[in-house]
Structure 1
Amino acid sequence: MIDLLDIKVDVVFKDFFGDKSSKELLESFINSVLGFEGDDLIEIEEFLDPRKMRVEVGRPSTFVDLSVKTRGGERYIIEMQTYNHEGFDKRLLYYLGKDYTEQIDYHYHQQATETEQKKKQKKLIGWQDLPKVHIVAIIDFHRSEREKNGILNNEKVVETYRFKPEISSSNEHLFNQWKATLVDLKKFKDKPLAELKTYKEKWFYLLKNASLIKEKEANALKQDPVFQRALERLERLSSDPATRKAYEASVNEHRDHLAVLSSERKAGRKEEKLEIAQALLKQGLPVNQISEATGLSSEEIESLR
């Protein structure tokens, strides 16, 4: 059995779930995570272009991992994030708002000629017709390096956030157009494959452990048709030289980025310790006590005088 690639890495994640011929994989994942059953089950009608540029404050541009439209007309944004971007939660809000409002700009009546199209364009939908937008963000990072507590506030792997009025529930319909679901893989507790009973648990297991799965575990997962197709898809990607090359480049870039972040954090902590030491010096505390309290050397503290 070929060594499987890590689905969480962006180039693999986009190819794995973004393959139009295997849309049932993304449908299964979304329906399982969000607990949709019966008439609520979604079917993907269209994969939207994820390369649509979205301007970010202080950055040239960015784009989402996956964006789809369901047969019911709703739109789903799927994001995979393995390290803590500054302002990540605000980015999710931006994506929701951008996807929601930009639909007005992409629905035009086609005129007879190209010249007429440029001169007069008629919108097919209005504000009252805008479909709902739901973002599903899969997270695999710790919000706090010190506490190692994942991103969510409790032990739930999945949390869905809705926008509701503070006081009156009578106007709830005005606030139900956006939803954001966070899937925190750090909160998913590993357990033997035989104990995984639901599609949701199996998807979490595959996302978290794909690169660690052995042949015995793969064969057990393949007993289910959905995960047989999923593993066959991942095996094809893992055996493709171009995908492996892009994967390795992405992993190296990710490692370099984390090294830079770690260096910046250490520099920030050192600066904070120096500031504390300087304040303690002004209060007249002995150098040896300041050294014990801050972890700085006597020489570093003396240099602050």
Structure 2
Amino acid sequence: MNKQALNTIPLASLLDLKIDFAFKQLFGSERNKHLTIVFLNAILQSTGRESIKEVTFINQEVGGEYKKDKQSRLDIVLKTQNGELINIEIQLANKKDMFKRTLYYWSRLYNLQLQKGKGYHTLNPTITINICNFSLFQEIVHYHSTYHLYEDKTLQRVKKSDEVLEVHFIEMDKFLKAWKNEEQQLFNKVLERWLLMFSLVDGGKKIVREDIYQALEEIAMTDENIRKAFQAWEEISQDPETIIAYQSRVKYILDEEAKIEDAKYYAEQEGIEKGIEKGIEKGIKQGIEGIAKRMILKGNTNEEIMELTNLKLEEVQLIRKAVE
């Protein structure tokens, strides 16, 4: 195969697959279902599970504890031929509650299986896969972490028939670091080939990594699935409606990040850190309330304010009432 045949459009025109909308366009459609299956098997091969041969995409609405919470709509949810439920999530920013949030949505998805009149024996394993564009576990060096249920003393996992919880975290910045350190050694690992695709374009920083593209060219000469995935990626990156929706999603993400940055700036301006150092309790409280008021005026949600200020929901609601 011609080595130059992989890309037909400028690499900078490719949608960033770490943006949830772009990820769903490639891996969440019936048209590319065979690619989704290959990608899932690449992730799950380390757990010893039976290979996935068929999947069905299902309704993604499982959350909703917060009215404005984007996470109430899961990115991709599907069911395998064995009835296992799999949720794949793209996580662009670290909201500091990642593990708890993951377990919450895992539990909601697991719970949805139990229909009226059905026994607990009908519940199937539920798997959550998080692809994170940040480091989540500072104490862990490797970029692919998998969690199951274990007994504390013996470290023995629950028996196969009862093993219903499985959670994966893939940290992309750690993968990039490993790529720079190992390079050619990653070529022969199936999962890492897919992660190279995710690493090629960084839309937020407007970066295209030429070394990764060259590696993908080499891989595509013998890996038909990577070649087909790249072709499908180019197709969605040229569709006018998809581009408009993608740009809208990127704008929303950037606006949300700007709100958080503004909140941090106002926190510094209010002198909270200085107040904490001096132990002036009254000043701290006033500073926190001042931040909360500014965040309300900026349009932040109660949850965002609570996360930054550690205020209770009732306190935020009182401040919001006074401001509004």
Deviating more after overlay: 81-90 vs 155-164: 81-90
Confirm or deny that 1:220 pairs with 2:230.
Answer: no
- RMSD value, Cα: 2.8
Partner of 1:131: 124
The residue that corresponds to 1:184 in the other structure is: 171
Contact 2:220 2:226 in 1 (8 A): yes
Q: Superposed, which structure 2 residues align to 1:267-278 within 5 Å?
A: 267-270=266-269, 271-276=271-276, 278=278
Q: Could you state the TM-score of these two structures normalised by the residue count of structure 2?
A: 0.70
Q: Tell me what 1:160 maps to.
A: 146
- In structure 1, what is the Cα distance between the partners aligned to 2:273 and 2:132? 31
* Structure 1 position 12, deviation (Å): 0.7
**CA distance 1:152–1:79, shift in 2 (3 Å):** farther
Q: Tell whether the 8 Å contact from 1:164 to 1:176 is kept in structure 2 after alignment.
A: no
CA distance in 2, matches of 1:133, 1:37: 13
AA matched with 1:179: E
TM-score (norm 1): 0.74
Structure 1: unaligned runs, 5 residues or longer: 106-121, 143-149, 281-305
1:229 partnered with 2:235? no
Aligned to 1:291: none
Moved more, 57-66 or 20-29: 57-66
> Compared with structure 1, are the counterparts of its residues 246 and 233 closer, same or farther at alpha carbon in structure 2 (3 Å cutoff)?
same
Q: Which has the higher helix share?
A: 2
2:189 alignment counterpart? 198
2:82 counterpart letter in structure 1: G
Q: State the percentage of identical aligned residues.
A: 24
What are the Cα deviations for residues 63-86 of structure 1, in whole angstroms up to 9, with x where unaligned?
A: 100111111111111000101224
How big is each residue's C-alpha offset from its partner over 1:237-267, in whole Å with a ceiling of 9 and x where there is no partner? 0000111111111112111211211222233
2:23 aligned partner, one-letter code: F
Q: Aligned equivalents of 2:163 and 2:47: distance in 1?
A: 20
CA distance in 2: counterparts of 1:4 and 1:216, whole angstroms: 15
Larger displacement relative to structure 2 (126-135 or 219-228): 219-228
The 8 Å contact of residues 196 and 216 in structure 2, kept in 1 or not, is answered as no
In structure 2, how many angstroms separate the alpha carbons of the residues matched to 1:46 and 1:20? 9
- Between stretches 223-232 and 164-173, larger displacement belongs to 164-173
Tell me the CA shift for residue 176 of structure 1. 2.0
After superposition, residues 1-305 of structure 1 pair within 5 angstroms as 1-2=8-9, 3-36=13-46, 40-50=50-60, 52-57=61-66, 59=68, 62-105=72-115, 123=117, 125-142=118-135, 150-151=136-137, 153-167=139-153, 172-173=158-159, 176-188=163-175, 189=177, 190-191=179-180, 195=185, 196-210=187-201, 212=208, 219-223=217-221, 224-270=223-269, 271-276=271-276, 278-279=278-279
- SS of match in other structure, 1:261: helix
* Cα displacement string for residues 133-154 of structure 1 (whole angstroms, at most 9, x for unaligned residues): 0101100024xxxxxxx44531
Q: Distance in 1 between matches of 2:128 and 2:219?
A: 27
Q: Residues 269 and 141 from structure 1, CA distance in 2 versus in 1: closer, same or farther, beyond 3 angstroms?
A: farther
Higher alpha-carbon Rg: 1
Structure 2 unaligned blocks of 5 or more? 1-7, 203-207, 281-324
| Alpha-carbon distance in 2 for matches of 1:98, 1:221 | 39
